[in-house]
Structure 1
């Protein structure tokens, strides 16, 4: 199935690429960049949102600017009966900003933001009750790459 069969034409792909880099762009400017009128660009945007291609718009916050200067990645290995309770626990912990459920030896990979090492220790201690934990401090968080036209086309070709 190619991108056209999925309902994504080159204009849609351009809109997606632009919005990933400039989420606050006006609809009229977006239209200008992709060669559409403001109403046509608005309609395209609405369709992409309704189909779930564009899932959200959000601000990217600098953690250090709000006092959360320590980032860690925690790997957790546990048993099957603890998966659901852990998912509930993670959802109630605002310090855990990303949860990835894994295959392989580890069950979870958690991304954590905290202000101090003692806050990290508290998080690790609360998680380690029913599993083995490995914690790594993040030295630098590189910007997340956008999902580009080439990757979308590659997925569509399968």
Structure 2
């Protein structure tokens, strides 16, 4: 389903999902209706899952980004997994292998907010926090 042409279309969409089929067609060398048809087929096949807006964390008042890992206490992993879905600070959360069970990417307004968030997290397990200084690779396109 994902041939070289679809791969190029996917790259265009991942770089800017709002660009028109005409703009994508000019980049990949086929007609606009052909681009639209290929996109629809990839949506139907579950290759393209959706579209989203990228938002500035700073413009919304979040001054800190952190990566927090958790080693859950006995019996606390399932409650954590249920509750974390409702925490507005959590941008991404993964259940992982290794000594820690969870890794989260969180955004926070300031150091006080970080302290309050960690206070909430430590009831579920031992946590480690790293403050993100800069974003080195951001949403690199996924290609076949």
Per the normalisation by structure 2, the TM-score is 0.92
Counterpart of 2:34 (choices 40, 45, 55) is 40
Q: Is it true that 1:86 corresponds to 2:80 in the alignment?
A: yes
> Structure 1, unaligned stretches of length 5 or more?
1-6, 153-158
2:140 is aligned, of 142, 145, 158, to 145
Kindly indicate whether residue 19 of structure 2 is the aligned counterpart of residue 25 of structure 1: yes
More helix by share: 1
How well do the aligned residues superpose, as a CA RMSD in angstroms? 1.3
Quote the offset at 1:67 in angstroms: 0.8
Confirm or deny: 8 A CA contact 2:77 2:124 kept in the other structure: no
- Which shows bigger deviation, 75-84 or 41-50? 75-84
- SS of residue in 1 equivalent to 2:18: coil
Give the Cα separation in 2 of the matches to 1:144 and 1:9: 21
d(CA) in 1 for partners of 2:78, 2:46: 27
Count of paired positions: 143
C-alpha displacement of 1:45: 0.5
Structure 2 gap ranges (5+): none
Segments of 4+ moved more than 4 angstroms = none
TM-score, normalising length from structure 1?
0.85
